[in-house]
Amino acid sequence: MKSYLPILLPLLLAGCGGKAATEAEAPTAVAQVRTGIAEAGASSDSVTVYGATEAGPGGERSVVAPAEALIASIAAPTGTAVGAGQTIMLLRPSPASRLAIARATTDAAAAQAAYARALRLRADGLVSNADVETARAAAAVANATRANLGIKDGGLALRAPIAGTVRNLTARPGDQVAAGAAVATVAVQGDLRARFGVDPAIAQRLHPGQRIDIDTVNGNTPARVAMVGIDPQIDPATRLASIYVRIPAGLHLGAGEPLHAMLQVGATRDGITIPYAALLDDGGRSYVFVVTNGVAKSRDVSPGNSSGDRVRILKGLQPGEKVVIEGGTALEDGMKVAEGAGAAR
C-alpha cells in the first residue's frame, strides 16, 4: 500500500498559506466624511425670537364711521395705495340714522321759525329781548344737532386722512356699521416697526439702542437694527414680553410681514466653536468624532449656546482639531476615514 502523506502535506500547507494571504490582502473599510475645524474666537449667548412688522406709532390713522350707516360701496379695498383725501368708501344712512336726520331737520326748521316769529313780535313790542335770545339759542342748538349727525340723507364719502396704504378693511357693501366704529386704517409707507415676543426674564436684560439681527422668514432681507423700545408687560396669549425695532425704509417691507431675529443676551467671551452639524447626541450624551491621522475617535463634549450654524463648546476640544460634520452617524469609534471635498470652516 502506497503512502500519500508526503504528497498531501505540501498541498495542505499551500492551501492554508493562500487563505492567510487572501485575508491579509483584504482592504480595510474606510468611511467617507467631511470635517470642520474647532475654532477659537469670541462667542456670546443668543436666542432666536419671532415677530412681525407693523405700522409705526405715528404712521397709521383710523377711518371712522361718524354715524350708524350702511356701506354703499368700497372704492379702495385693503392694499390700495391712496392719497390724502381720496375716497375709500361711500356710506348711506341706516334706517335709524334716517329717522334721526328727519327728526333733527324738523326740529331745526321749527326752531328757526320760532326765532323768526320772536323777532317779529319783538319789533311790535310784544316780547322782550330775553325771549328773542332764548329763541335764537334754541335755533342754534337745533341747527348744530342736525349738522353733527355726521351723515346727510344723501350719504357720505369716507376719505383717507393721510397718504398711505389701506389696511384692515373687512366690511362689505351692505354691511351696517355703528357710529364711531373704525372701518379701515391707512398706514404710511416706510414708517414701519417690528414687534418681537421675548421671554420676560430675557427682556429684563435688554436695553433700548441694543443692536439685533433681523431677517424675513425666507431669509431674503437680513439687516442689523437698533431696539427702540421694550414692553415688559406679558401678553396673556403668548406669555411673552415685547421688544420693538425700527424697520429701515430701504428694506421695502410691508406691514404684517413675519420676521425672526437673533438677539444677543449675554456678554461676549472667548471660547471654541464648531459647526453645529458636528454635534451628535446619544441619549443625552453629547459627543463629536475627532479625526486624527485618518482615524475618527469619539469624544464627549459639553456644548454651550448656538449662534447661527455654529455651537460653542465649553469642554472637550482644542482649537484646530478636526471634527466630522458629514457622515458621523455611520461611524464607529476608531474607524478609518477619508475626507472628501476638503474641510469646512
| Span of 33-47, 121-135, 194-208, 231-245 with lowest mean pLDDT | 33-47
Beta bridge partners of 212: 225
- Residue 207's nearest CA partner among 225, 223, 224, 230 is 230
Higher-confidence position of 306 and 92: 92
- As to burial, measured by CB atoms within 10 angstroms (0-12 exposed, 13-18 middle, 19+ buried), residue 105 is middle
Other beta carbons within 10 angstroms of residue 337's beta carbon come to 21
147 band by pLDDT with thresholds 50, 70 and 90: confident
324 pLDDT higher than 90: yes
Distance CA 80, CA 88 (A): 9
Distance CA 214, CA 189 (A): 20
User: What's the rounded mean pLDDT across residues 45-67?
Assistant: 83
User: What's the rounded mean pLDDT across residues 5-11?
Assistant: 49
- As to burial, measured by CB atoms within 10 angstroms (0-12 exposed, 13-18 middle, 19+ buried), residue 212 is buried
User: What's the rounded mean pLDDT across residues 44-57?
Assistant: 80
- The answer, as to whether pTM is greater than 0.75, is no
